[in-house]
Amino acid sequence: MASNPSRRPARAGDEAATALERPLRPRATRAFAGLFKVLGDETRLEIVALLAAQGKELCVCEIEAHFDLGQPTVSHHLRLLREAGILRAERRGTWVYYQLERALQERVRAFCALLPE
């Protein structure tokens, strides 16, 4: 039987060959798709980074002041982050205070545990 010229034989140390030898776990990663889809937006990722850097809750007015975006746009991003379980919000009078969900780091660690070393 003739060899297929488009396929090269796997060599020791070949990353592509090594990856194919590992069992694929698409169902294990499926639970993380929504998390990374929401975090895939630059503005939302910056909101998460802002809250992480502050290490405390921030008023929506403080978050809005960080961006050159309108209030409705920032509120939209905050809503998506809340719905994805990345942020939690607490209303105090007319203001809403946001902080990272405590479980966020654990969710990211759980995903990282699926990655090969």
Domain ranges of the chain: 28-114
What six digits make up the tokens of 7? Answer: 């396929």
Buried b (16+ CB within 10 A) or exposed e, 13-46: eeeeeeeeeeeeeeeeeeeeeebeebbeeeebee
pLDDT at 29 over 70: yes
| pLDDT one-digit tens code per residue, 53-70 | 999 999 999 999 999 999
Mean pLDDT value across residues 21-41: 78
Name the fold adopted by 28-114. Arc Repressor Mutant, subunit A (1.10.10)
- For the cut 80, the answer to whether the pLDDT of residue 106 exceeds it is yes
Q: Which residues of 72-81 are buried (b: 16+ CB within 10 A; e: fewer)?
A: eebeebbebb
How far apart CA 13 and CA 49 sit, in angstroms, is 36
